[in-house]
Amino acid sequence: MNLAISNASDFTRWTPPAAALTLSDVTSIPTPPRAGHRPITRTFHDEDVTDNYEWLRDKDDAEVIALLDEENAYTDARTAHLKPLQDKIFGEIKSRTKETDLAVPVLDTGWWYYSRTIEGQQYPIYARVRDTGARPELVAGEAIDGEQILVDGPTLAEGEEFFRLGAFETAPGGNLLAYAVDTSGDERFDLVIKDLQTDEIIDDAIRGIGYGVAFTLEPTHVYYVRVNEAWRPHQVWCHEIGADPNTDELVFQEDDERFWMGMGASRDNRHIVIQLGSSTTGEAHLIDASDSAARPVCIAPRRAGLDYSVEAAADHLLITHNAQHIGFEVARAPLGVAPEDTWQTVLAPAAGERILGADAFESVAVISMRSAGVTTLRILERAEDGSYGEAWDVPTEGEVRTIEIGTNPRPDAREIRYSLASLIIPPSVCEVSLDTRESVVLKQTEVLGGYDPADYTERRIWVEARDGTRIPVSLVARADVTPDGSNPGLLYGYGSYEISIDPSFVISRLSLLDRGVVFAIAHIRGGGEMGRQWYDDGKLDRKLNTFTDFIDVGRYLVESGWVDPARLGAEGGSAGGLLMGAITNMAPELWRVVHAAVPFVDALTTILNPELPLTVGEWEEWGNPIEDEAIYRLMRSYSPYENIAEADYPAILATTSLNDTRVFFVEPLKWVQRLRETVTSDQDERPILLRCQMVAGHGGKSGRYDAWHERAEQLAFILDQLGIED
């Protein structure tokens, strides 16, 4: 690869006017910030491509930070007229939220664990009370007798612009707690170990770890995961609590850059499971948690295309794998080394089913799966001889709902906790009895202000894509909204990594629905909603299906009358942000407004640079354009930054964070620069804006009130462009 860098620098600065701006006063609309051209030429497959904005990648460059500050000031100015609407939406979110609240307590090792929030505080408090034989009757806002505070989020976050926990693990016996803290948003955490008998911090010397912490059975040691320079989890270390971290022992290292690592304790705490995986291949290792000197044992060596994950029970393994079925199956295998020929099928998928994973308990296994695109929990009963027999599904109703297994730390549980929600039904924490098979709702999230699900309707519709494939769509609207061709609409999508965007209830979405907006989720190919084949049909050389599916759903919403053709918006984040960039280039006339959150819009540049975080592991998702010219040409044809057209575009809001490790801020920053200099639409009427959070990560701001303000700003921009002023 040849890089030719010019010395040109014509960086210009913009100073916002002192007075507030209104769009009706055209003369007061400021000029958007413009970065200077500093051409860099890349050469692959005999093609030279010049990039004028790649120099913006360096966040240590004072000019780059100045440009981001100017972008934020410009966005402030262009949205100043929306401040009343932003404040109103924030007030709606706040007024519908029970700010002082309690989570449902979870029983483990003689204690009931829970979190609680306090009105006015950004972060929760994590606490516990002793078990007295029954679930405690806790009341939000009232003093809790015998409460022990484990982590005081508001106190720990004092003075920090960002605060997030990456681990929260109690040791076997319940006397120690390990938690990990990120105060920048880069998802690198500092580990803290607390003695819960004395309430003293006994170890806080380990810095910059990744996700994954587990104690040994006798909690003298703790295992943790380290990430490499590319933010790939690649090592497991064992640390003696209280000892010098320089004496920590490297337990496992994964050198293949395609593979990611997860690590955690089994439900009975007897084993530590190291799970490795690329997009297509899995491998797992087991550590005896009773011996801090034990070394990982490989369960079954990796084989290209064999994707498997492991759940360790007391006397066997449950392995979810795709050796025989594209929909995966669950097999039983002996503890320890368990080559494929020892795997005995426990549950095979029926047509239209995709098995996702297993949770092992003493008397049952709970299988998380999808059936006809809908989430399902299937219970496998264990007979007296330990074999698995009768299977039954936890009963639910409707196609537009999501059921997921909840927090169940006890292997001997006779009630299995799960969550249930839909687009209009607030999340419920439920328990199903293994004895009666009946479920009870322990708590449903309370939505204040007189919320009534009957005021809204939700439905599953199927849209025929251009190649004849039927695309499922989840749609919600106010009950009095009809498909008469006059409604504003917002279409959401993702479509990558076999991640499913299942129906869920979001309080802030009510601010759209109550203003007559039709909201829909397009469950497009590349996601996992319809199984592994659905994912395969939206990746690599079939990636274009993801984008055309979304466009076809958008056109259906217009043609069916659900949405006014002049009032359709689109929204997606991360890989869904790439989707936003692609569909904007491919069908700019279809959208009135697009919100691209932490968008992966400079995909080809990133995937061509194996030194950047995540790149090598992404080659199984997108292809390797360095070695494969056909993949290079394909990515070159859809990578949003490289395909902006001289055409009228929708209004665009790109949102990002300076410390985002997953999608660097430079991608949306470059994108908006090139958009502004290329598109032919009136940018006074359809602005192209960037909002960069200067101390945050991939998920944006961390405090709940800050996050509500952030979402209110986004929704106000969308509503304004859809013609809704109040």
Please give the single-letter amino acid code of residue 244: D
Q: Confirm whether 384 is domain-assigned.
A: no
Give me the chain's average pLDDT, please: 94
| Amino acid 12: pLDDT | 25
Q: Which residues pair with 689 in a beta bridge?
A: 653
372 has pLDDT over 80: yes
pLDDT confidence of residue 28? 74
| Tokens of residue 227, six digits | 């990430």
Give the model's pLDDT for residue 678: 98
Give pLDDT tens digits for 194-209: 999 999 999 999 999 9
The predicted pLDDT at position 1 comes to 31
Whole-number CA gyration radius for the chain: 26
- The rounded distance, in Å, linking the Cα atoms of 159 and 181 is 14
Distant-in-sequence, close-in-space partners of 35: CB < 8 Å, separation ≥ 6: 11, 53, 56, 67, 669, 673
Work out the burial of residue 442: count CB atoms within 10 Å of its CB; fewer than 13 is exposed, 13-18 middle, 19 or more buried.
Answer: middle
Axis crossing angle, helix 629-638 with helix 544-559, rounded to the nearest 10: 30
Q: pLDDT category, 29, cuts 50, 70, 90? A: confident
| Rounded Cα distance, 389 and 219, in Å | 36
Per-residue pLDDT of 84-141, as tens digits, reads 999 999 999 999 999 999 999 999 999 999 999 999 999 999 999 999 999 999 999 9
Residue 467, pLDDT above cutoff 50 = yes
pLDDT at 8: 27
pLDDT in tens, 503-516: 999 999 999 999 99
Whether 440 is in a domain gets the answer: no
Measure the CA–CA gap between 198 and 125, rounded to whole angstroms. 18
Q: Give the residue-averaged pLDDT of 594-599.
A: 98
Query: Which helix or strand (DSSP H or E) is residue 277 part of?
Result: strand 271-277
pLDDT at 611: 87
How far apart, in whole angstroms, are the C-alpha atoms of residue 36 and residue 62? Answer: 14
Residue 13 in this model has a pLDDT that exceeds 90: no
**CA dihedral for 265, 267, 271, 275, sign (positive or negative):** negative
Find, among 583, 472, 466, the residue nearest to 528 by Cα: 472
Q: What is the pLDDT of residue 23?
A: 36
In a domain, 539, yes or no: yes
Q: Tell me whether residue 467 is in a domain.
A: yes
HSE toward the beta carbon, residue 66, CA cutoff 13 A: 11
- pTM of the shown model: 0.94
Examine residue 418 and state whether it is found in any structural domain, yes or no: no
Sign of the CA dihedral 326, 332, 338, 343?
negative
610 falls within a domain: yes
Report which residue type is found at 608.
L
Backbone dihedral region for residue 628 (phi beyond 0: left; psi -120 to 50: alpha; all else: beta): beta
- Residue 18's pLDDT band, with cuts at 50, 70 and 90, is very low
Range of the domain at 603: 4-95+450-721
| Distance, CA of 697 to CA of 153 (rounded, Å) | 18
pLDDT score at 612:
86
Q: Where on the phi/psi map is residue 600: left (φ > 0), alpha (ψ -120 to 50), or beta?
A: beta
pLDDT of residue 659: 96
Number of separate domains in the chain: 1
Which tens digits make up the pLDDT trace of 324-359?
999 999 999 999 999 999 999 999 999 999 999 999
Q: Enter the tokens of residue 191.
A: 């580990």
pLDDT at 5: 25
Rounded percentage of the chain residues whose pLDDT exceeds 90 = 93
pLDDT for res 50: 97
Residue 243, token pair as written in the block: 């000892």
Q: Can you give the length of the chain in residues?
A: 726
Query: Both tokens of residue 345?
Result: 């099928």
DSSP-derived secondary structure letter, 527 = B
State the Cα–Cα distance between residues 430 and 427, nearest whole angstrom: 10
For residue 49, count CB atoms less than 10 angstroms from its CB and return exposed for 0-12, middle for 13-18, buried for 19 or more. Answer: middle
Q: Which residues are catalytic?
A: 574, 660, 698
Is 532 part of a structural domain of the chain? yes
CB atoms within 10 A of CB 243: 13
452 Cβ contact partners less than 8 Å away, ≥ 6 residues apart: none
pLDDT for the residue 81: 96
The Cα 203–Cα 214 span in angstroms is: 15
Is the pLDDT assigned to residue 580 strictly greater than 80? yes
- Take residue 264 and report the two structure tokens written for it: 């955690």
Whether 321 maps to a domain, the answer reads no
At 345 the three-state DSSP class reads strand
What pLDDT was estimated at residue 398? 83
Average pLDDT for residues 625-629, to the nearest whole number? 98
Supply the CATH number for residue 557's domain.
Answer: 3.40.50.1820
Residue 399: what pLDDT? 84
Which stretch of DSSP H or E encloses residue 40? Answer: strand 40-44
Q: What is the phi-psi region of residue 84: left when phi exceeds 0, alpha when psi lies from -120 to 50, beta otherwise?
A: alpha
